[in-house]
């Protein structure tokens, strides 16, 4: 096994290291997947929607700000860019570029208004502090009509786009080719996608003759098939090359990682289970990112931390902070710090996963768990270097040992530092079972393989959505 048990090291697996987690991956394939990472959170149609909204709102903001007294043309153009950048960032943070959002009209309207208000606040702050003069009521009132125009444009565009989504105009039709047992995991993974971006219109056995191949290509063109996903093997190399030249073809591993943004943990082999070794430059940049962001958040959230400390003291007897052993990088244990959200005797009968409406949670604990305030003390763990901002959530050693026995290659998630938030946290709700752990591992291993500063930044944006709408909180 690539991950060998080592009782001398707290019963956790010893992890092999290597230059690339997938030893047989080509440089060209790596570049393609890195390019696909740019759209890890948005599909191509969502990216087009964002660009359309940006330019239309820039026009509305520019012509509105240009008429404001004391603002010249160049400054109006710059302010319009700032407003549109803030609007795009806010839209991303509230989840407006997720396909599932557009399936609910009320949710789309509410989130659009939230993003527009955030952009308006940003513009007001820039006018106040950037110009070093407090704008008059007349000047602030002058930006209201371009703001209303931008909001009207956004609502119109997004309602039209949502209608197109409900008509399934952007669905990608795929055909699964492979034996039933090989195709089953991919079919289940596609059907579980919240975005419903793919429609499986057929499952076929591998083509064995040229005539079967010609009939398959003709049917794919007739039914506008986006891609054929091949699971398992069974097709002759010559036929596969011919099919690839006439129709988009993807292997199951490529499809999982480029389109589903997950790793099929049942298809990982020992030869490919190698932990990546990041460059010194990447490690240094990540560490600098972690320290600066932690110090910034500690500074801005200090009033919240003090108020939470007082509230916990008044709410229930016991310590304010809760310390618990977790498995860190390479399985090394460390002490994780959180605000206490449960009764002191919460684990009198032994460690268990938290559940929905857990009776052990205190009154203040319910609030700080829903808002994720209980996680703020972990900023100290990040400053100590025990955690990173982005990474798989650290698990308790007793659960790690249990899950490692039931889930293949579970310890691979400890190839990187554990994080305050991560790819699994923004894509899958809180897990409290072995099956949940399997699902989260498939996302964690995607991050282990494709983690980068760019992906870290996008995860941070998505974390805002998770906190605002209490996704997966317990």
- Six-digit token string for 162: 């949502």
Residue 389 above 90 pLDDT? Answer: yes
Phi/psi of residue 133, nearest 5 degrees: -140, 140
- Six-digit token string for 11: 């019963």
Mean pLDDT, rounded, for 374-390: 94
| pLDDT greater at residue 474 or residue 73 | 73
pTM: 0.81
Spell 101-112 as b/e; 16+ CB within 10 A means b.
bbeeeebbeebb
Cα–Cα distance measured from residue 112 to residue 96, given in angstroms and rounded to the nearest whole number:
7
Burial class of residue 356 in the structure, from the number of CB atoms within 10 Å of its CB (0-12 exposed, 13-18 middle, 19+ buried) = exposed
User: Looking at residue 68, what is its pLDDT?
Assistant: 67
**Nearest residue to 265 (alpha-carbon basis) of 66, 21, 14, 11:** 21
Yes or no: say if 450 and 37 are a contact pair by the CB < 8 Å rule. Answer: yes
Mean pLDDT, rounded, for 166-195: 86
pLDDT averaged over the chain?
80
Domain spans, the chain: 44-166, 170-260, 275-468
Residue 13 above 80 pLDDT? Answer: no
Domain 170-260 homologous superfamily, CATH: MoaB/Mog-like domain (3.40.980.10)
The pLDDT confidence band at residue 332, using thresholds 50, 70 and 90, is very high
- Other beta carbons less than 10 A from residue 128's beta carbon: 13
Cα–Cα distance measured from residue 429 to residue 392, given in angstroms and rounded to the nearest whole number:
13
Yes or no: say if 384 and 411 are a contact pair by the CB < 8 Å rule. Answer: no
Residue 259 above 80 pLDDT? Answer: yes
- Six-digit token string for 92: 């991303």
User: Looking at residue 308, what is its pLDDT?
Assistant: 94
Residue 11 above 70 pLDDT? Answer: no
pLDDT tens digit sequence for 270-325: 656 667 677 788 888 889 989 999 999 999 999 999 999 999 999 888 899 999 99
| DSSP-assigned beta bridge partners for residue 203 | 176
Phi/psi of residue 141, nearest 5 degrees: -65, -30
Residue 27 above 50 pLDDT? Answer: no
């Amino acid at each position: 096994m690539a991950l060998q048990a080592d009782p001398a090291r707290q019963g956790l697996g010893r992890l092999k290291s290597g230059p690339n987690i997938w030893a047989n991956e080509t440089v060209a394939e790596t570049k393609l997947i890195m390019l696909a990472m740019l759209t890890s959170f948005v599909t191509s149609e969502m990216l087009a929607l964002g660009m359309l909204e940006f330019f239309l709102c820039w026009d509305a903001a520019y012509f509105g700000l240009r008429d404001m007294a004391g603002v010249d043309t160049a400054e109006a153009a710059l302010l319009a860019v700032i407003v549109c950048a803030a609007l795009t960032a806010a839209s991303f943070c509230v989840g407006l570029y997720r396909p599932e959002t557009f399936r609910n009209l009320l949710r789309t309207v509410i989130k659009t208004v939230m993003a527009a208000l955030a952009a308006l606040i940003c513009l007001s702050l820039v006018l106040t502090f950037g110009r070093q003069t407090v704008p008059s009521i007349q000047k602030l009132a002058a930006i209201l009509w371009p703001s209303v125009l931008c909001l009207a444009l956004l609502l119109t565009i997004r309602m039209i786009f949502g209608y197109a989504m409900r008509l399934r105009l952007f669905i990608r039709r795929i055909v699964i080719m492979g034996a039933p047992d090989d195709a089953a995991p991919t079919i289940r993974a596609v059907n579980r996608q919240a975005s419903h971006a793919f429609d499986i219109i057929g499952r076929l056995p591998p083509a064995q003759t040229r005539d079967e191949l010609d009939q398959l290509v003709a049917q794919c063109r007739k039914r506008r098939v986006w891609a054929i996903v091949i699971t398992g093997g069974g097709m002759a190399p010559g036929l596969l090359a011919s099919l690839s030249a006439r129709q988009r073809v993807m292997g199951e591993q490529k499809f999982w990682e480029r389109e589903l943004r997950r790793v099929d943990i049942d298809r990982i082999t020992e030869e490919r289970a190698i932990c990546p070794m990041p460059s010194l430059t990447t490690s240094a940049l990540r560490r600098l990112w972690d320290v600066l962001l932690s110090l910034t958040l500690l500074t801005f959230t200090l009033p919240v931390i003090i108020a939470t400390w007082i509230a916990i003291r008044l709410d229930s007897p016991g310590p304010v902070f809760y310390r618990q052993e977790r498995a860190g990088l390479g399985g090394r244990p460390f002490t994780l710090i959180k605000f206490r959200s449960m009764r002191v005797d919460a684990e009198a009968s032994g460690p268990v996963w938290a559940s929905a409406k857990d009776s052990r949670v205190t009154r203040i604990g319910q609030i700080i768990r829903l808002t994720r305030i209980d996680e703020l003390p972990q900023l100290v763990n990040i400053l100590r270097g025990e955690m990173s901002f982005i990474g798989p959530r650290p698990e308790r050693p007793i659960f790690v040992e249990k899950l490692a026995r039931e889930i293949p290659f579970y310890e691979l998630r400890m190839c990187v530092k554990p994080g305050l938030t991560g790819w699994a946290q923004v894509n899958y709700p809180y897990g409290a079972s072995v099956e949940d752990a399997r699902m989260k591992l498939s996302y964690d291993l995607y991050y282990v393989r494709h983690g980068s500063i760019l992906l870290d930044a996008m995860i941070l944006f998505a974390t805002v959505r998770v906190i605002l709408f209490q996704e997966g909180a317990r």
